[in-house]
Amino acid sequence: MSRNAHADALIAFLNASPTPFHAVQTAADRLSALGAVQLDEKDAWSLKPGQTAFVTRNGSSLVAFRLPADVSRPKFRIAAAHTDSPCLKLKPRSPEPSANYRQWGVEVYGGVLYNSWLDRDLGVAGRVTRMDGGAIRSSLVRNEGKPFRIPQLAIHLDRGVNESGLILNAQRHLQPVLGLVGSGGQGPGGQGPGGQGPLGALAGGRTLEGWLEETLGAPFGSLTFELHLYDTSPAGYGGFDDEFIFSGRLDNLAMSHAALEAFCAEGAGPGSASGAAGTIQVAALFDNEEVGSTSAQGANSNLIQAVLERCLLALGRTREEIMAAMARSHIVSADMAHAIHPNYPEKHEPYHYPLINHGPVIKANASMRYATNAETSALFRGLCAKAAVPFQDFVNRTDLACGTTIGPHVAAALGIPTVDVGNPMLSMHSAREMCGSEDHGMMIRTLREFFRE
């Protein structure tokens, strides 16, 4: 195998997107560069056939749509994914020092594999907000030049760890080390007792508080933030033949990128912005899937429904016509899938185990943890055939609990037939994951066929 343009683009997207906020900003920049118009949910929308537009919510979710030239009998083709990944998020205030170390407390976001975050160089990135002249101002920040670290206990002090397994308490064992007390002439945590009070004379980014003050040009006490830790090792190729991609946040930025790339590719050439008569192409990227999707910007919110309805209302369609358009529509919900693990084959259903670089995976579950049914599965298989792409099937072992994704949420909210798919990967929910470099292009080609339906 050789490096390919789709895999290169995914790697660049991963490296630009340490948080959902950065991912959405990167996606918005890509859409704007192609001439898409950014809409505001607070304003009235004025749209016309052939137009491409997008809207963001909370800075961490995005819905883009492209109107066809012929909107007489509209239907939606929606490729949906999610922007968030399991991670460690910083708490609002630093704790008191411990054994001369400056640290910062974290909360666990999603189903984190705790041990994967140990002994890594961790950057911090996210959104910082403050009141400015009576208005809320938010800025994206990123710092990987002063990495944090969560050191593991030496084996000499935990002799049985390799036999008994590593047990970590999220409150006590996952606090990253930022530095030492007194370095640079500073006091505990850079603040007064209990994390309160002014930062004092600290400057130059020698503390997290000082870096935020310098970056935002405001006192630390006036700032609120949503900051994530992330592995600073860049995304890149792996394997002797570049057959893998190694990165954090593959689940699910890989599928977010696939949906975005397919959407942009369908609007980038001669004869674009048309597709099939009446087809409204939609790429929907939601936040908060890893914690259940129930938020103002999650798949369980009104975001996608509001965008679809307002899209047709702006074209002069009636409520009756909107409901009919929904009934003619389909959704591909794309979230990464489990490849069979060579060291744990017994954890997989023996006749339904996906292989890396063997094409997209169609995910099904009898308890509807995935939204796939026979009809939507047949639709996706047909799309793969048109794209000359192989496909695979996945079901969980019957004696293991099955995960879920955004598919059931959007299917239930909209009443639109949905298929859950994804590319196979290993180390899901680790700080560092891996997938196939060839699979990504296959998913993009399949989604492009979907948009043309």
- The candidate with the shortest Cα–Cα distance to 127, out of 204, 216, 189, 190, is 216
- pLDDT tens digit sequence for 84-101: 999 999 999 988 899 999
Answer yes or no: is 240 within a domain.
Answer: no
Same domain? For 379 and 392 the reply is yes
CA dihedral (421, 425, 427, 431) positive or negative = negative
pTM across the whole model: 0.93
Answer yes or no: is 292 within a domain.
Answer: yes
Same domain? For 280 and 373 the reply is yes
Same domain? For 45 and 106 the reply is no
Answer yes or no: is 242 within a domain.
Answer: no
For residue 68, count other CB atoms closer than 10 A to its CB: 20
| pLDDT number for residue 125 | 98
Query: Do 354 and 338 meet the contact criterion of CB atoms below 8 Å apart?
Result: yes
Query: Do 365 and 352 meet the contact criterion of CB atoms below 8 Å apart?
Result: no
Query: Total domain count for the chain?
Result: 2
User: Residue 254 is part of a domain; what is its CATH number?
Assistant: 3.40.630.10
Q: Which range marks the domain in which residue 157 is found?
A: 87-231
Residue type, 152: Q
Same domain? For 300 and 430 the reply is yes
Same domain? For 212 and 315 the reply is no
Same domain? For 65 and 94 the reply is no
User: Residue 226 is part of a domain; what is its CATH number?
Assistant: 2.30.250.10
- pLDDT tens digit sequence for 202-237: 334 478 999 999 999 999 999 999 999 999 999 999
- CA dist 344 and 290 (Å) reads 24
Pairing of strands 337-338, 87-90: unpaired
Strand ranges inside 149-235, DSSP E: 177-180, 224-231
Same domain? For 272 and 316 the reply is yes
Answer yes or no: is 236 within a domain.
Answer: no
Q: Which of 180, 196, 231 is the last residue of a domain?
A: 231
Same domain? For 415 and 277 the reply is yes
Query: Do 382 and 363 meet the contact criterion of CB atoms below 8 Å apart?
Result: no
Q: Is 35 helix (H, G, I), strand (E, B) or coil?
A: coil
How far is C-alpha 124 from the chain's CA centre?
Answer: 17
The pLDDT of 120-126, averaged and rounded, is: 97
Same domain? For 52 and 122 the reply is no
Same domain? For 219 and 354 the reply is no
Q: Is 238 helix (H, G, I), strand (E, B) or coil?
A: strand
- CA dist 70 and 50 (Å) reads 8
Same domain? For 143 and 292 the reply is no
My answer on whether omega of the bond before 357 falls inside 30° of 0, hence cis, is: no
The pLDDT of 42-67, averaged and rounded, is: 97
